[in-house]
Structure 1
Amino acid sequence: MNTTDQEHLHDTRGQSSLNRRMRTALLMVALIGGFYLLREHWIHVAGNWVYLLLLACPLMHLLHGHGGDGGHGAPPDKPANREE
């Protein structure tokens, strides 16, 4: 390994660390902003919690990911895991 390879490895680690710090900082800002937004508009959220719950159901269905127990993504040679 020559010196240019070592310098390249060092540079990529620095960028990764910077990206992680930037993501962490943005997440913190989003959480703090979300807290203050919720705090200021709590009356509206509390008044409409039923609709928010109903909205959460299809969002959870769409965003839950399709891995796990072999439900609807099982290959044809392996039957789905069912209790009979």
Structure 2
Amino acid sequence: MDNDHRDMPSFWRSPAGLALLVALAVMGFYLLTEHTAHVFGVLPYLLLFACPLMHLFMHHGHGRHGHGSDDDEQRRQ
């Protein structure tokens, strides 16, 4: 039963997936060439938006910086 799932081709290698990739590439090229001023005008806001995202994802272990519980210290002794 699991073999049936592995034998299926990836969506990105199907004709529809390849057509979608080509369409996305053409749209991206169009956006960069025709709307360069708009794209570059948004970059400062993207940097500001990246700050809280980096804080959320990079401080996922905040509060666990070597502060073990009492059980950890008893095990070490």
TM class, shorter-length: 0.3 to 0.5
Could you say which structure has the higher helix fraction?
Answer: 2
Q: TM-score, normalization: structure 1?
A: 0.43
Q: TM-score, normalization: structure 2?
A: 0.45
